[in-house]
Amino acid sequence: MRDKLERYFIRKQRLRKKIFGTGEKPRLSVYHSLKHTYAQIINDEEGKILVAVSTLTQELRKKIKSGSNILSAQAVGELIAKKALEKGIRKVVFDRGARLYHGRVKALAEAARQGGLGF
């Protein structure tokens, strides 16, 4: 039987085969660990990160108490949407990684949508 980490990487690769960020519609990648939440907007054609926000960002560290809850994920979603709009990015492809669309991932996505990102 495969171990947990190997199954995680298989799920991640299966999803990444279908999702690709372009210059017109970059990829919004979401990851969370036990302590923090991370989001990046990536242009896969050029291999460049256009915008990156996490709970470790100075702007958010002052506002949030814990980086591992739904409120902090919402704050990351709002901030990444704000920074993306400043750079002229309005539409993205959402990449949840190997995680379910639930909890922190869902909170970040909905906050980014309310902030003005379309996906």
Domain 4-114 has CATH 3.30.420.100: yes
Q: What is the pLDDT of residues 86-112, one digit of tens each?
A: 999 999 999 998 899 999 999 999 999
Domain ranges of the chain: 4-114
Q: What is the pLDDT of residue 16?
A: 86
For the chain, give the DSSP string.
---HHHHHHHHHHHHHTT----SSS-EEEEEE-SS-EEEEEEETTTTEEEEEEETTSHHHHTT-S-SSSHHHHHHHHHHHHHHHHHTT--B-EEE-TTS-SSTHHHHHHHHHHHTT-B-
Q: State pTM to two decimals.
A: 0.88
